[in-house]
Chain A
Amino acid sequence: MATTLSQIFHLYSRLGFGISYSEAKTMQQKSLSEIVTNLIVASSIPSYLTGIKKEDIPNKKDAMEDGMNKKDFLKLVNEKLQELNISWIKKLVSTKSSLVEKQTLFWHNHFACRVRDPFAMQELNNIHRKFAFGSFRDLLVEISKSPAMIVYLNNHQNRKQHPNENFAREVMELFTLGRGNYTEEDIKEAARAFTGWGISKQTREFEFHEKQHDAEEKTIFNRKGNFGGEDVINMLISNKQTAYFITKKMYKYYVNETVNEERVIQLADFYYQNQYNTGALIKKMVTSAWFFDTENMGCNIKSPIDYLVGLSRQFNITYSNNKLLFQLQRGLGMQLFFPQNVAGWPGGKTFIDSSTLLLRMKLPSALLNNSQIEVAEKIDDPDDQAKDQVFANKKLETEVNWTPILEETKDLDFDKLLKVYLLKQPIQKVIDKIKSDIALGKKEMILKIVSLPEYNLA
């Protein structure tokens, strides 16, 4: 069964970061399920981020004792965090395993985390990737034991004598049940169950500190027992609300920000019955007939990363100024490894305000002409100097390979180009206005199209 170009563009925008016109054409003879299977197969062996080595960053205490000053230590950490960020962005731009990266981005947002430990952040990211399509339970256990999350949510300070509830609260509110499905008492008691989940000072890996663990009886979700952390995770997993909570978020991400409640309930049942197999849920969603309904196409707003990575892939952009690529993400409102808070990026319309929309609409011509652009950096971390730096009129230092683009689009007129680059078409008046400049060459036509508001729709 043949597949239409618009279906292919839709599929690749949701399960990846877009597809070139020439590639899309070659897919047309394949059936939809064949294409989906290929996408999954291409992602079956993920490649991990390995650039940051544990020995790159000394333990802060050791470093201070060895005479390193705090400022130099912070500088090193910042450099390595930026390196980590760039290594992921570059992977996203070049990967052939786009689906696993797409799902890794989902978990990156769901399990939002921000600590000044580049190696731990890289490890956490690799957990997201390793379990991208696997069991959500296994993922949750790994996350809960990851040094990055333990530090971020203060579980290393959660001790029998002095419980710290931060992790217990967020695991329920943000990771599994969602608000309103637990009591303050459940949080207090669950925090006791997670006491002692800490980090070894020597290996900087997870370590259970038995002496700090509260082994007494707890009452969690109306059940009494000498529960430990994994027991709490199992209780959360056996609660169907968790399947619903994750499925709803996945539906918004892959299908439509406007939720179809009935469908989400059915999908959540499926996810629950399939032991939270995330890959199966994705396949189920994208092979459903309604996935290609008009109302589900071009309806979502691209996240800044989807936008930036998609644009970079579409135009074979290579960046030589890493610092600017790093700041650009912040300007667009989503900087990898630097979520604004533990709830991650709220997404959808919240990505669009006057400033971010304008930046998106100006970026294509700046990037594709290697012209100048202003990117402001906002430092909102109290450990940094609380000072704004504006990098005015910096060259983006990008290289664009136009040759294959001009080759593959040589037979396409303006109206056909619109269909290739946009998942949702502008109103006729806009098309006519843009087209009215008859002196437009192919490059200028494409530039104008990808600068339209509609280019931000996925």
Chain B
Amino acid sequence: MNRRNFIKTSSLASSYFMLPGFLKPLENLGFNSAQKNLVVIQLSGGNDWLNTIVPFKNDLYFQKRSRIGLKTEMVTFLEKDLAINNSLISLKEFYDAGEMSIVNSVGYPNPDRSHFRSMDIWQTASASNEILQTGWLGRYLDTSCKFSYEAIEVDNYLSLALKGKNLNGLAVKNINMLYKEVKTPYFNDLVSVTKDEVLTEDNQGYLYKTLIETQSSVDYVYEKNKLITNNATYPNTEIGNQLKNIAGFIASDINTKIYYVSLSGFDTHVGQVAKQNKLLSQYAESVTAFIKNLKELNKWEDTLIFTFSEFGRRVEDNASSGTDHGTAGNVFLFGKNLKKKGIINPGPDLTNLDNGDLKYSIDFRSIYKDILQNWLQTDADKIVSANVNPFNII
């Protein structure tokens, strides 16, 4: 955003934020020539990464996976004895162009195999034996942001990842619907008499705080977004629509740094191959449309896409042609100027297992720190307390 645009938008914005303290001095807003966006795509349920980035030359892979091992014709070679599941084939274009990084064996010490706990660990960036009540991006909101709209989850519900101590992200499934809901005279009345009050810390105060914050944030996002029409074609899937919405937000130059979506259904205990492939192709085709759209919008170099799941799955398949909860897995990063590209580190070691599960070699929090430090340009140590160094591939 250039200075002229800023002045234009800030005078527009100022009429929406009647809340004292909401306008920050110019120098704190950190306007770069372009604002960086992070788009997080969560694969919920525990994606089976071994059937995603496949060690297709490894006999052990086929031995352990007699029921669900992907045959050579179902994968496409990448490098280092690894191949990509053909359901993800549309992503290969970005891989070939050096716009995709694949990190192997990402996890954390003493892995937890419960969905909820492991998802909490990933979303809060806690240690395995540590309970945190705020998400890593929620703490980014706390330390570096002022408004809930600075982190948007495209969903009906807000994930723990975007819940801070003092500030929550904004859940926006449909901005037009949301706007209509918040702008009634009755809500305006309630907000006008409570916005300057010191609200209590209990649930009553929480309800009013949510109301006030919501109204001002929705107002802002709506006003900016209504100027945008996004005619790009996306797959007609939920994840496709969500990413299309995000591209619209990014195009509208709102001051939002974080976008968050999730795609669920990866808990493939039974009949895995068809289910997982369907979900992976939904994911890949939507991400492909999204990146192409961002390129057209001239926003690709300002965007980083990060994909993770709460855990990978057991190396050995189960009797129901599925897999049970496991441990380490991959993460994907997409971006224009990645410091390191392609397959970053060796694939998983199937000979050195921990009770039938893969051992991690990269702590996911070192990737978070990399994102916070090198992409969002904030002090990562204030947000992620783990004693790990930034991974340094971004």
Query: Are A and B bound to each other?
Result: yes
Residues of A whose CB lies within 8 Å of any CB of B are 154, 157, 159, 161-162, 164-166, 169, 173, 179-180, 184, 257, 298-301, 331, 333, 341-343, 348-349, 352-359, 361-362, 374, 376, 378-382, 386-388, 390, 424, 427, 429-430, 432-434, 448, 451-454, 456-457
B270 touches A374 (CB 8 A): no
28 contacts across the A-B interface (CB closer than 8 A) = A157-B318, A164-B269, A164-B324, A165-B324, A165-B325, A343-B115, A343-B116, A352-B207, A353-B157, A353-B158, A353-B168, A354-B218, A355-B171, A357-B207, A358-B214, A362-B181, A362-B184, A374-B177, A378-B173, A379-B238, A382-B275, A386-B237, A388-B241, A427-B194, A430-B194, A451-B186, A453-B204, A453-B208
Residues of A near B210 (CB, < 8 A) are 352-354, 357
Residues of B near A301 (CB, < 8 A) are 203, 207
Asked if A382 meets B157 with Cβ closer than 8 Å, knowing A157-B269, A179-B117, A358-B182, the reply is no
B193 touches A354 (CB 8 A): no
Asked if A157 meets B207 with Cβ closer than 8 Å, knowing A390-B174, A427-B194, A434-B189, the reply is no
The 7 closest A-B pairs by CB, nearest first: A382-B265, A453-B207, A354-B214, A358-B181, A429-B193, A162-B319, A353-B158
Asked if A358 meets B178 with Cβ closer than 8 Å, knowing A179-B117, A434-B189, the reply is yes
B174 touches A341 (CB 8 A): no
Please give the distance in Å from A425's CB to the nearest CB on chain B. Answer: 9
B149-175 contact mask (Cβ, 8 Å, vs A): 1 or 0: 000000111100000000010111110
Bound: A381/B178 CA distance, A? 24
B206 touches A454 (CB 8 A): no
A353 touches B171 (CB 8 A): yes
B238 touches A376 (CB 8 A): no
Q: Which residues of B102-118 are within 8 A (CB) of A?
A: 113-117
Report the nearest B residue to A388, measured CB to CB. B238
Chain B interface residue count, Cβ-Cβ cutoff 8 angstroms: 62
Bound: A299/B207 CA distance, A? 12
Residues of A near B168 (CB, < 8 A) are 353
Residues of A near B318 (CB, < 8 A) are 157, 162, 164
Apart from A355-B178, A356-B157, A386-B265, 19 more pairs, CB < 8 Å: A157-B269, A184-B355, A298-B204, A349-B203, A352-B207, A354-B158, A354-B178, A355-B172, A357-B207, A357-B210, A358-B214, A376-B173, A378-B173, A380-B238, A382-B279, A429-B193, A430-B190, A434-B189, A453-B208
A357 touches B211 (CB 8 A): yes
Bound: A388/B238 CA distance, A? 6
Cβ-neighbour of A430 out of B129, B178, B193, B241 (below 8 A): B193
Residues of B near A354 (CB, < 8 A) are 148, 158, 170-172, 178, 210, 213-214, 217-218
Q: Is B28 an interface residue (CB 8 A)?
A: no
Bound: A457/B200 CA distance, A? 14
Interface centre among A343, A349, A386, A427 (most CB of B within 10 A): A386
B203 touches A299 (CB 8 A): yes
Bound: A94/B184 CA distance, A? 33
Q: Is B389 an interface residue (CB 8 A)?
A: no
Q: Is B11 an interface residue (CB 8 A)?
A: no
Residues of B near A357 (CB, < 8 A) are 207, 210-211, 214
Report the nearest A residue to B189, measured CB to CB. A433
Please give the distance in Å from B222's CB to the nearest CB on chain A. Answer: 13
Residues of B whose CB lies within 8 Å of any CB of A are 113-117, 129, 148, 155-158, 168, 170-174, 177-178, 180-182, 184, 186-187, 189-190, 192-194, 197, 202-204, 206-208, 210-211, 213-214, 217-218, 236-239, 241, 264-265, 269-270, 275, 278-279, 282, 318-320, 324-325, 355
Bound: A159/B158 CA distance, A? 38
B207 touches A454 (CB 8 A): yes
Report the nearest B residue to A382, measured CB to CB. B265
Please give the distance in Å from B100's CB to the nearest CB on chain A. Answer: 24
A154 touches B156 (CB 8 A): no
Residues of B near A381 (CB, < 8 A) are 265
B157 touches A333 (CB 8 A): yes
A361 touches B278 (CB 8 A): no
Residues of A near B320 (CB, < 8 A) are 154, 157
Please give the distance in Å from B160's CB to the nearest CB on chain A. Answer: 8
Cβ-neighbour of B239 out of A374, A386, A448 (below 8 A): A386
Report the nearest B residue to A333, measured CB to CB. B157
Residues of B near A333 (CB, < 8 A) are 156-157
Bound: A448/B174 CA distance, A? 26
Bound: A453/B148 CA distance, A? 19
Please give the distance in Å from B129's CB to the nearest CB on chain A. Answer: 8
A157 touches B178 (CB 8 A): no
Cβ-neighbour of A382 out of B187, B197, B278 (below 8 A): B278
B239 touches A376 (CB 8 A): no
Report the nearest A residue to B242, measured CB to CB. A388
Residues of B near A427 (CB, < 8 A) are 194, 197
Bound: A243/B192 CA distance, A? 47
Residues of A near B156 (CB, < 8 A) are 331, 333, 355-356, 376, 378
Report the nearest A residue to B213, measured CB to CB. A354
Report the nearest B residue to A381, measured CB to CB. B265
Bound: A319/B206 CA distance, A? 31
Bound: A157/B184 CA distance, A? 54
Cβ-neighbour of A341 out of B115, B155, B172, B189 (below 8 A): B115
Bound: A451/B184 CA distance, A? 12
Residues of A near B186 (CB, < 8 A) are 448, 451
Please give the distance in Å from A369's CB to the nearest CB on chain B. Answer: 13
Please give the distance in Å from B43's CB to the nearest CB on chain A. Answer: 12
A386 touches B218 (CB 8 A): no
Residues of B near A434 (CB, < 8 A) are 189
Residues of A near B192 (CB, < 8 A) are 433
Report the nearest A residue to B320, measured CB to CB. A157
Residues of A near B270 (CB, < 8 A) are 154, 157
Residues of B near A454 (CB, < 8 A) are 204, 207
Residues of A near B239 (CB, < 8 A) are 386
Residues of A near B214 (CB, < 8 A) are 354, 357-358
Residues of B near A386 (CB, < 8 A) are 237-239, 265, 282
Asked if A359 meets B171 with Cβ closer than 8 Å, knowing A164-B269, A164-B324, A433-B189, the reply is no
Please give the distance in Å from A390's CB to the nearest CB on chain B. Answer: 7
Asked if A300 meets B197 with Cβ closer than 8 Å, knowing A162-B318, A165-B324, the reply is no
Please give the distance in Å from A274's CB to the nearest CB on chain B. Answer: 30
Residues of B near A343 (CB, < 8 A) are 115-116
Report the nearest A residue to B278, measured CB to CB. A382
Residues of A near B325 (CB, < 8 A) are 165-166
Asked if A387 meets B157 with Cβ closer than 8 Å, knowing A157-B318, A164-B318, the reply is no
Residues of A near B237 (CB, < 8 A) are 386-387
Residues of A near B171 (CB, < 8 A) are 353-355
A380 touches B173 (CB 8 A): no
Bound: A164/B318 CA distance, A? 8
Please give the distance in Å from B314's CB to the nearest CB on chain A. Answer: 10
